[in-house]
Amino acid sequence: MKRGTLAQLFRERRLQIGMTQLELSQRLGYRTPQGISNYERGCCDPPLARILEIGKILKLSRAEVRLHCITDIERRFFSRIKNNARAKKRS
């Protein structure tokens, strides 16, 4: 089974429990829901210190959050390797 990104996990879980981006942002102490929107769209990553806090609010296990974090890191790592190989072929 293919795992989604951490952003997808957070969005899907938030929707499952019926929480809005505004409600989640307020629980985190943010002034607007824009940060949550940015996280869920993959525009930026939540600060590391907030990842487990978001997971806790969304009632996700630490193991599930950790697994998605590792998956995101692996995808980025292998994507960079692939891009570097392409750049070398072009040179």
Q: Cα 2 to chain center, whole Å? A: 15
> What pLDDT does 83 receive?
82
Residue range 6-90 forms a domain whose CATH class is mainly alpha
Q: Is the pLDDT of residue 50 over 70?
A: yes
- 33 DSSP 8-state letter: T
At 18, give phi and psi (nearest 5°).
75, 30
> What pLDDT does 1 receive?
41
Task: Identify the three-state secondary structure at position 44.
Answer: coil
- 32 DSSP 8-state letter: S
For the chain, the structural domain boundaries read 6-90
Q: Give the mean model confidence (pLDDT) for residues 52-76.
A: 94
> What pLDDT does 34 receive?
97
> What pLDDT does 91 receive?
72
pTM of the model: 0.81
Residue 60 corresponds to which amino acid?
L
CB 58 within 8 A of CB 19: yes
Question: What tokens does 86 get?
Answer: 């392409």
Higher pLDDT, 33 or 75: 33
